[in-house]
Amino acid sequence: MDIIVCIKRVPETAEADLVIDGTKKAIETDDLVYSINEWDNYAVEAAIQLKEAEGGTITVISVGPEENNEVLRRALAMGADEAIRLTDPAFEGSDAYAMAKVLAAAIKDMPHDLILTGVQADDDGFGATGVALAQMLGLPYAALVTDIKKEGDTLTVHRELEGGLEEVDTLKLPALLTIQTGINEPRYVSIMGIRRVAKKEIAAKGAADLGLSENDVGLNGSMSQIEELFFPPVGEGAEIIEGTMDEKAETLVKILKERGGIA
């Protein structure tokens, strides 16, 4: 089985104090630590487990600058066979839709039985690239996958629904799945392992190589555009809820509803 996994390099922002830059459309990234998008790490592991069971090849693809080779190398050390990086100044400003076009242009000419993406990216979290990509490639797909079983050219997958419910579907290969965290336990990638693949060539392809024009990608090829970034209002430390016990409970219920705390 030939598997393609799309992986993104994202900044880790949970611990960081973010600063919006001068353009107001992006954040300052100099001090941020980057790594593979968490969902994509699970997707790579899922691919490796399928390969271990079924044989075949794994190719990882990432769209982005040279630094993205870090996540590609990490995936190679983890067990992927080939890595490709798609890069072009014209790709800048792409939204999930344009990003899917870039990926589709690269993947359409590559042998593929199964394509895996993450459910969403840690940073901008559109949660849309995978499903849009499937549509462009004309493949059956399933989003939010938490279990994969293969029998012949049929996959049986579980999708994670709300409130602890799962949906079981069957899919005919070739297909695309967006992988949910928790589907497996991604293996650790040691520093020695990464050093071992440090010399492996990673091919880079640009818009022209993919037959894409400037109008297909970037802001021109996107459906949406960031106009402005701003900070949501936040308070320091906990907001203490006061009142009678009944009022406290009432306020809590309201907060729970707003924050998705009631399934």
Partner 1 sequence: METMEQSLPERLDLYTCIQCGKCTGGCPVSIKSPLNIRRVVRESAVREDLHVFFSRLEIWDCTTCSTCAIRCPRGLRPVDAIIGLREMMVEEGRIEKTIIDALDGAYKYGNPWGRAKNKRAEWAQDLEIANALEMDPGQILYFVCCAASYDPRVQSVAKSLATVLRAGGVNFGILGNKEVCCGSEIRRMGEVGLFEMLMEENMKNFTKVNPQTIVTTSPHCMNALKNEYEGLGAEVLHYSQFVWRLIEEEKLSFSTEVPMKVTYHDPCYLGKQNGVFDEPRNVLKSIPGIEFTEFGRCRENSLCCEGGGGRMWMEGTNVGKRLSEIRVEDALEMGVEAIVTACPFCLLTLEDAVKTTGNEEKIKVIDLMELASMGLGVRPEVEGRR
Partner 2 sequence: MEKIAVLVEHRQDEVRDITFEMLGKAHQLVGEGGEVIALFLGDPSQKGLLDAITPHAHRVIAYLDTNLKNFEPLRYQAAFSQIFENVDCQLILMGQTAFGMDLAPAVAAKWEIPFTSDVVDIEASDGDLMAIRQMYSGKVNAKVSLKAGDKRLLTVRAGAFPAEDIPTVSGEVQEITGAVEGDFSARTFVEYLEAAVGDVDITQADIIVSVGRGIKDADNIPIAEELANALGGVVACSRPVADKKWLPKERQVGTSGKTVKPKVYIALGISGAFQHQAGMKNAGTIIAVNKDPKAPIFGIAHYGIVDDLFKVVPALTEKVKGIKG
Alpha carbon distances (Å) from 69 to 10, 87, 185 = 12, 11, 23
Q: Tell me how far apart the alpha carbons of residues 128 and 151 are, in angstroms, rounded to a whole number.
A: 28
Q: Which of 146, 180, 184 is nearest to 49 (CA)?
A: 184
Binding flag, residue 127, ligand FAD (CB under 6 A)? yes
Which residue in the set 41, 59, 117, 146 belongs to the binding site for ligand FAD (CB under 6 A)? 117
Q: Return the residues of window 1-40 that contact ligand FAD according to CB under 6 A.
A: 6-8, 37, 39-40
Please work out the total of residues on this chain that contact ligand FAD, with binding judged by CB under 6 A.
Answer: 30
Alpha carbon distances (Å) from 119 to 40, 82, 231 = 8, 22, 25
Q: Return the residues of window 81-120 that contact partner 1 according to CB under 8 A.
A: none
Q: Return the residues of window 174-203 that contact partner 2 according to CB under 8 A.
A: 175, 181-182
DSSP state for residue 233 in the 8-state scheme: P
Which residue in the set 55, 162, 165, 192 belongs to the binding site for partner 1 (CB under 8 A)? 192
Q: Beta strand 33-36 with 9-12: parallel, antiparallel or unpaired?
A: antiparallel
Binding flag, residue 240, partner 1 (CB under 8 A)? no
Q: Could you tell me the two tokens for 76?
A: 């190679």
Binding flag, residue 15, partner 1 (CB under 8 A)? yes
Which residue in the set 96, 102, 103, 148 belongs to the binding site for partner 2 (CB under 8 A)? 96
Q: Tell me how far apart the alpha carbons of residues 228 and 216 are, in angstroms, rounded to a whole number.
A: 23
Phi, psi of 105 (to 5 degrees): -60, -35
Shortest approach of partner 1 to residue 149 CB, angstroms? 23
Binding flag, residue 222, partner 2 (CB under 8 A)? yes
Binding flag, residue 45, partner 2 (CB under 8 A)? no
Binding string, residues 39-78; x marks residues near ligand FAD by CB under 6 A: xx--------------------xxxx--------------
Which residue in the set 84, 131, 148, 197 belongs to the binding site for partner 2 (CB under 8 A)? 131
Which residue in the set 195, 200, 248, 257 belongs to the binding site for partner 1 (CB under 8 A)? 195
Q: Tell me how far apart the alpha carbons of residues 148 and 177 are, in angstroms, rounded to a whole number.
A: 9
| Contact (Cβ atoms closer than 8 angstroms) between residue 220 and residue 101 | no
Q: Tell me how far apart the alpha carbons of residues 205 and 155 are, in angstroms, rounded to a whole number.
A: 31
| SS3 of residue 76 by DSSP | helix
Q: Tell me how far apart the alpha carbons of residues 158 and 156 are, in angstroms, rounded to a whole number.
A: 7
Shortest approach of partner 2 to residue 52 CB, angstroms? 23
Contact footprint for ligand FAD (CB under 6 A): 6-8, 37, 39-40, 61-64, 92-96, 99, 117-118, 120-121, 124-130, 224-226
Contact footprint for partner 1 (CB under 8 A): 12, 15-17, 31, 33, 35, 78, 185-196
